[in-house]
Amino acid sequence: MISEGSTLLVATRNRGKAKEFREAFQQIGITVKDLYEVEGIPDIEETGETFADNAYLKAKTVADILGLPVLADDSGLCVDALDGAPGVYSARYAGEEANDEANNAKLLQELKSRVEGYAQSEQDVSEQDSVPAPELLSSARFVCTLVLYDPQDGSKLVAEGTVEGHILREARGSDGFGYDPLFWLPALNRSMAELSLEEKNAISHRGQALRRLLELIER
């Protein structure tokens, strides 16, 4: 489908995601381009009910236009106290034109209006271990599904990744994007936005999915 020395188009206009893809694929000699580097690709409405549905829809739509293999991902945040929301609506949780700041603000608003006591119980556990801890509002996970689609034969590779964590009451960190500043990783005692790109790729949902996809490509 793709091999060392080739160029792969990733169906995203998210600069943060594109950077992570470039970091991963350069390790096997594949150059990554994103949708800012090609013309004639319309915005694709994400109408799927699952991350896998949306990733396949984006990959196939762009691949059919260009006649080339295309990689797409759909990923998001699933918060237990919100019954799995924002889920597939993560990128547009606060509206179709919402930015990261607006989405994060809505997430905190929804959680703070519904969650009481969870933060205190988490704080109590940390204090028993004499480890300073921020207030947490709910357990949560980041989920990522990647689909690499080849229009020449209709074949596809699918890889998934998940990382467990908690939602912070207040944002921490200035790196990353999306909900990273609100996503707390207990094992590292840091938010996702406090990690370097290398550290993030080593443990993140997208990093896990990418490693699994690379294994499939190299078989």
Does 14 show up as a binding residue in the annotation? yes
Does 17 show up as a binding residue in the annotation? yes
Does 33 show up as a binding residue in the annotation? no
Does 74 show up as a binding residue in the annotation? yes
- Give the integer Cα–Cα distance in Å for 95 and 80: 21
Does 114 show up as a binding residue in the annotation? no
Does 75 show up as a binding residue in the annotation? yes
Q: Which secondary-structure segment (H or E) carries 8? A: strand 7-10
- Concatenated DSSP letters of 133-200: ---EEEEEEEEEEEEEEETTTTEEEEEEEEEEEEEESS---SSS-TTGGGEEETTTTEEGGGS-HHHH
Does 211 show up as a binding residue in the annotation? no
Does 179 show up as a binding residue in the annotation? yes
Cβ 100 vs Cβ 91: under 8 Å: no
Does 166 show up as a binding residue in the annotation? no
**Cα-based distances in Å from 27 to 43, 210, 214:** 30, 12, 10
- Give the integer Cα–Cα distance in Å for 148 and 158: 7
Q: Is 153 a catalytic residue?
A: no
Q: Which secondary-structure segment (H or E) carries 120? A: helix 118-128
Does 177 show up as a binding residue in the annotation? yes
Does 180 show up as a binding residue in the annotation? yes
Does 205 show up as a binding residue in the annotation? yes
Which of 64, 74, 83, 129 is the catalytic position?
Answer: 74
DSSP code, position 68: S
203: CB partners within 8 A, 6+ apart: 163, 185, 188, 195
Of 100, 69, 89, the closest CA to residue 192 belongs to 100
Annotated binding site for substrate, which residues?
Answer: 12-17, 75, 177-180, 200, 205-206
Annotated binding site, which residues?
Answer: 12-17, 45, 74-75, 177-180, 200, 205-206
Annotated binding site for Mg(2+), which residues?
Answer: 45, 74
Catalytic residues, by residue number, are 74
